[in-house]
Structure 1
Amino acid sequence: MGSFAPFEGVQPTILTVPGLGGSGPSHWQSLWERERHDAIRAELGMWNTPHRNSWVTKLDQAISTAQAPVILVAHSLGCIAVAWWASLSPQPYGWPVAGALLVAPADVDRADAPPEISGFAPAPRGALPFPSIVVASTDDPWITSQRAHSLAAEWGSHFEEVGALGHINAASGLGAWHDGQDLLERVIAASGDGRGHQRTPGDARRVLATPAEAVRRGARG
């Protein structure tokens, strides 16, 4: 699948940010890393015993060493790490992180959150300094759709509910999750207009809400 370059002549780096336990070989993040030449993993370490400050530091290093612009593709606890990075590492709007796809964020604030993730509480509430989409399933055991929608509102993210897909992981049987790549395409398109210019926040929100096929038609036109 082709991608829409946000800045003329510059392809974004797709930086995947897994959650607790990392993403195994059949997880869509791992498949994207193998299938897309532009996708690499942020090696946060301590996958089974994550520490918030360590993950944020490692994520900052990964962003700093990647070729900007960077599009973050986070899953589960990785979404919360992204929000913490944005809170602790202020950046101008859209640079070097130009956008983010935040899939099935873990609810670190719930009363029964396991200790492996509760150390990331409270989830940051400020608006993210880049266009983003929060993706939620209706039967995710790690977060309710309502709570995911609340996080999206707090982060200033476009919200997408994708039906009953569990935790939107390898167990969901998604393979390379082509619908997710369509969502990624919308995030990339929202980060720039294809003529070397970043989009304004308002224009980015409009593009995030536009179906991928319409985005592709606009790029071709």
Structure 2
Amino acid sequence: MENIMKTIALPHLGLASLLIAAPVFANAATEPAFAMEQEAFFTQLASHCGKAFAGKVVSKDNADAAFRDKSLVMHVRECSDSELKIPFHVGDDHSRTWVITKTAQGLRLKHDHRHQDGTEDKVTMYGGDTASVGTSQKQSFPIDQASIDNFMQNGLTQSVTNVWHMEVTSSTFSYLLTRENRHFQVDFDLSLPQPIPPAPWGHE
């Protein structure tokens, strides 16, 4: 009887071991899949490091009129394994830099706004973190709480539901801002590099 019990118990023990191990194996399989899409997106942008590209506004909102009349240039200026800094030049205004950072949860987008003397604007370093894996070509960044607080403090209540998006293909990079009754989009031609613009304010 003892030998029979041992024979019966061992298969059950083996099954239990497999059941315990299975979730670990599943996590190991699914975890890289989350990072893979965002890693591919980050790598595509980083492949343009050191280059600048001209853009144009393609959205139709009247609020974008000032942007349509000025030259728009993005410059993939500073690149590391974990962070990209991409100044967005609007005519002679060199106050804007997009900062894309890898985090433990995904990707983070912040907008670094400076005055001409290099000091920070009171509305700066706003943005958000990815809430989903996205794709290798598109990532979305819903506004974070710190940005909501900053906007509220500075009277920008219309912006507290902002979602920013970035899209990249072999030929085009797009930056978008969306919220209810608001859509801003500028597309940059990645096939035709431009002369390097001046350093963004505060980043010499």
The two structures have a TM-score, normalised by structure 2, of: 0.28
More helix by share: 1
More strand by share: 2
